[in-house]
Amino acid sequence: MAKNTHLLSHQVAMSFLLIGVPFIVSGQELPEQQLNPIKQEAPGNPKPTKPGASGNQSEEGPLVQIPKKEWPPNYIRLHLQDGDIVSGILETDSISITTDFGTLSVPVEKILRFEPGLISKPQLLVSLDELVQQLGSDKYQEREIAHKKLLALGIKIRNELENYKEEKNAERKRHLGEIKKEIEKLISEIPEDEADKPENQPWEKNDKLVMAHFTAVGKIQQETYRLSGKYGQLTVKLADINKGSRPTAGREAIDKSLTLDQSNFVQLKYKPIGIKLEKGDTVSVTATGSLVLTPWGGNVSCSPNGTPQYGVMPNTPGIPFGCLVAKIGNNGKYFKVGEKNKFVATAAGSLQFAITMRSSYVGKNYQFPGEYKLRVKVQPTEE
């Protein structure tokens, strides 16, 4: 989580500590990029798992479990409309929501997350309607500005645009039709394993209060939320919140090993490591070993970094043959890993590895003796 952000659109960055509990004003997520190489020390040999020790053993290597982090019952993280995230102790013991069956008051410690809908953001609805009306302006520039602003909201406004399907103004109707087509195109380009993520869903009318075993839908009653920290208090309006979540005891940290050989060329078969990443997980990979790269003669060997002088993979940023690569999810694009790398997952999905090779030498009778041995560590994101 980046630290260089502002507090509720103000130009003030701060970090609070409340008796060992972080009160953090953090920023937007890391940039959308597949790879973020970071130099790191070479790891030592994996320690064998002792009988009776915590952790699970797999045929590919140890699965190590670390202690789960405990959080105060009223600790909460608020994801704001402008992309900022604020965290701290919530100065209320419960959150109430009015449903079709009455009002329900839920202790904060029982809540996994809450998601305010448009019913709690009336100003957002007003702004949206104003932009739609501006599409019918007599001035070309105003129409174009409104068009761009609506398109920037993307998938979020898909359902709301249905309220204008009976539009009579010809100019407004034309713009709305073009915007809808662009939104449908955006939806079609979402990878299958990311389709259910909140950022890829249209805005909903009602508020949601999500507990472990059920979800309450209706109107959240608290319009403001006060978080306390060592240096004071922060008040946040419900209308400014995209999502509120309580961090729970985290997922396991993972340390696994596996081996790749000529059967794992990118054209043949990726080798999964049995880890399903979530967006934001940090992955560290170290790889050793060698592979004979020139079966046609010379018996030149290469490391997991590959050997550029024998060529690079087409349509890639110079990834050489013989290079260790990885991808996230079956539909993900592969990216260079090499001997040592550390990256942040930009999508959820199965972590898989392969080796690059010239297509004309794959599936023939060529032999590529050797193997790469990998050690993969995954540090889960806090959420």
What six digits make up the tokens of 65?
């479990």
Identify the pLDDT of residue 366. 86
**Identity of the highest mean pLDDT range in 63-67, 182-186, 306-310:** 182-186
**pLDDT tens for residues 63-118?**
333 445 567 888 888 888 887 888 889 999 999 999 999 999 999 988 988 999 99
Whether residue 278 sits in one domain with residue 178: no
Question: Which tokens is 185 given?
Answer: 């195109």
Of the pLDDT bands very low, low, confident and very high (cuts 50, 70, 90), residue 248 is low
Given 143, 163, 194, the domain boundary residue is: 194
* Whether 171 and 281 share a structural domain: no
User: What is the distance between the terminal CA atoms of the chain, rounded to a whole angstrom?
Assistant: 11
Share the mean pLDDT of the chain. Answer: 79
Q: Who has greater pLDDT, 297 or 193?
A: 297
For 215, the enclosing helix (H) or strand (E) is strand 215-220
Does residue 264 lie within any of the structural domains?
yes
| pLDDT for 19 beyond 70 | no
For residue 304, the domain's CATH number is: 2.60.120.430
- Largest Cα span, the chain: 79
Amino acid at 332: G
Co-location of 264 and 350 in the same domain: yes
> CA–CA separation, 325 vs 305, rounded Å?
9
Co-location of 270 and 176 in the same domain: no
- Count how many domains the chain has: 2
Q: How far is it, in rounded angstroms, from Cα 352 to Cα 325?
A: 9
- Beta carbons within 8 Å of 38's beta carbon, 6+ residues apart: 341, 342, 343
Domain range holding 155?
A: 122-194
* 357 and 264 inside one domain: yes
User: Which residue, 194, 213, 235, sits at the end of a domain?
Assistant: 194
Q: Mean pLDDT throughout 195-199? A: 69
Q: How far apart are CA 376 and CA 62, in angstroms?
A: 10
The answer to whether residue 300 sits within a structural domain is yes
Predicted structure pTM score = 0.48
| The predicted structure's pLDDT at residue 190 | 80
Residue 96 lies in a domain: no
Q: Could you tell me if residue 31 is inside a domain?
A: no
Cα–Cα distance for residue pair 74/76, rounded to 1 Å: 6
55: CB partners within 8 A, 6+ apart: 49, 62, 63, 64, 65
Which of 30-44, 103-117, 121-135, 256-270 is least confident? Answer: 30-44
